[in-house]
């Protein structure tokens, strides 16, 4: 079959982008042709992929919603000229056969967090219409859910038939698991960053520093007692503009303890070098990095809004901060965790045991079964 995949932007380090690539390659391994429609593509193009980047003139607009509207029209004109057997979208847009639901319910956010004036604007009208095109009862789009948390919101706002929802297991790559030489990798990584044995390394990984709560992490580091703070480092990694957070670190007096890096391809190695993953997200449909940390044996401190937070509790591999979020609660929890090495070691053992048996690796194969109509 000819399969068409659609996403607004591809870059190598995004969670959504990595999910797309794994699923497309799984379909390709079963003998199907892969065509990709996108606004932007960064990085290498996999062998055998046909990547169609929208011409600038076709999608030129003053706003992102305008670009997305034009992209959708351009893509469907292309598909009319060169049809595909299945159209799989990784962003919400009209005309999809399958939608991979990596993003939360926009309508719920717009009504719970925004006022009436916002819902009168063009941005709301665009995103609401594109979401409705996927979830309305009249739509034929099958919905590939990667978190059960959001399904009730879609049903509430759109009365989407339950039969169109397909809940998937997480899609953690097995190369995230701690290898046999994990201690050596940890030593090498820490040497690269000049970390002493007694220093504690906090990691925060994920593009979109504002949504992921990097500000909360900086405040928590600043709140640590001086002696503990002096031997604690925070490395944040993600595709985002860091200037506001570097400025905040200076204002909090912790700039010497904080490093912010762009996205990188050696995250499994990075995870092995850390002592705790912090992920105090404001909003997180899933939180794949939580599971990637657990299978690497890295304890986790995360906010309860993360769709995958329950795995941290099931694995007994860390701690989940209650909602509503309170900064002083995070501060106290972080201090207690850093002061208790035995607890961290217990969490590490628990997380590695969880990695042996949990069904968290089969997302791409299950998704491929559904796309190809081979699900049992």
Going from N- to C-terminal start, the domains of the chain cover: 2-171+361-372, 174-357
In CATH, the architecture of 2-171+361-372 is 3-Layer(aba) Sandwich (3.40)
Q: Please state which CATH number belongs to domain 174-357.
A: 3.40.50.2000
In 193-276, which residue ranges form alpha helices assigned H by DSSP? 209-212, 214-223, 226-229, 243-252, 267-273
pLDDT of residue 107: 97
The answer, yes or no, to whether the previous bond of 158 is cis (omega within 30 of 0) is no
- pLDDT per residue as tens digits for the range 5-36: 999 999 988 889 989 999 999 999 999 999 99
| pLDDT band for position 147 (cuts 50, 70, 90) | confident
Average pLDDT, the chain: 95
pLDDT band at 376 (very low <50, low <70, confident <90, very high): low
- Per-residue confidence at 340, pLDDT binned at 50, 70, 90? very high
Contact call for residues 360 and 291 (beta carbons, < 8 A): yes
334: tokens are 């972080």
Among 9-18, 24-33, 85-94, 331-340, name the one with the lowest average pLDDT.
9-18
- Rounded CA-CA distance 290/239 in Å is 18
Q: Average pLDDT in the 27-48 region?
A: 97
**Per-residue pLDDT reduced to its tens digit, 247-290:** 999 999 999 999 999 989 899 999 999 999 999 999 898 899 99
* pLDDT value at residue 375: 67
Dump the DSSP string for 8-63: EEE-TT-HHHHHHHHHHHHHHHTT-EEEEEEEEE-SPPPTTEEEEEPPHHHH--SS
Q: What percent of the chain has pLDDT over 70?
A: 99
């Amino acid at each position: 079959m000819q399969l068409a995949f659609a996403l607004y932007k591809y870059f190598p380090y995004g969670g959504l982008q990595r999910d797309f690539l794994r699923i497309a390659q799984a379909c390709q391994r079963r003998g199907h042709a892969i065509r990709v429609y996108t606004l932007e593509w960064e990085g290498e193009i996999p062998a055998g992929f046909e990547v169609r980047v929208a011409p600038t003139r076709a999608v030129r607009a003053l706003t992102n919603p305008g670009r997305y509207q034009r992209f959708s029209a351009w893509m469907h004109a292309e598909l009319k000229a060169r049809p595909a057997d299945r159209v799989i979208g990784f962003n919400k847009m009209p005309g999809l056969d399958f939608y991979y639901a990596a993003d939360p319910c926009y309508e719920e956010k717009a009504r719970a967090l925004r006022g009436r004036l916002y819902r009168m604007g063009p941005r709301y009208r665009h995103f609401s219409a594109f979401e409705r095109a996927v979830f309305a009862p009249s739509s034929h789009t099958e919905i590939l859910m990667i978190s059960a948390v959001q399904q009730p919101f879609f049903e509430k706002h759109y009365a989407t038939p339950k039969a169109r929802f397909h809940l998937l297991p997480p899609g953690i790559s097995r190369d995230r698991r701690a290898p046999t030489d994990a201690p050596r990798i940890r030593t090498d990584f820490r040497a690269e960053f000049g970390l002493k044995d007694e220093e504690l390394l906090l990691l925060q990984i994920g593009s979109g520093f504002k949504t992921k709560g990097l500000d909360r992490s900086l405040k928590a580091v600043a709140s640590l007692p001086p002696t503990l703070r002096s031997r604690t480092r925070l490395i944040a990694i993600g595709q985002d503009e860091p200037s506001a957070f570097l400025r905040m670190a200076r204002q909090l007096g912790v700039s010497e303890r904080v490093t912010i890096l762009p996205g990188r391809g050696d995250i499994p190695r990075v995870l092995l070098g850390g002592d705790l993953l912090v992920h105090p997200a404001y909003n997180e449909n899933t939180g794949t990095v939580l599971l990637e940390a657990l299978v690497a044996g890295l304890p986790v401190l995360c906010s309860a809004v993360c769709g995958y937070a329950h795995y941290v509790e099931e694995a007994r591999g860390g701690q989940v901060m209650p909602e509503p979020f309170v900064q002083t609660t995070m501060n106290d929890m972080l201090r207690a965790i850093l002061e208790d090495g035995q607890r961290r070691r217990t969490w590490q053992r628990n997380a590695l045991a969880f990695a042996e048996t949990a069904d968290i690796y089969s997302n791409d194969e299950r998704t491929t079964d559904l796309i190809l109509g081979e699900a049992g």
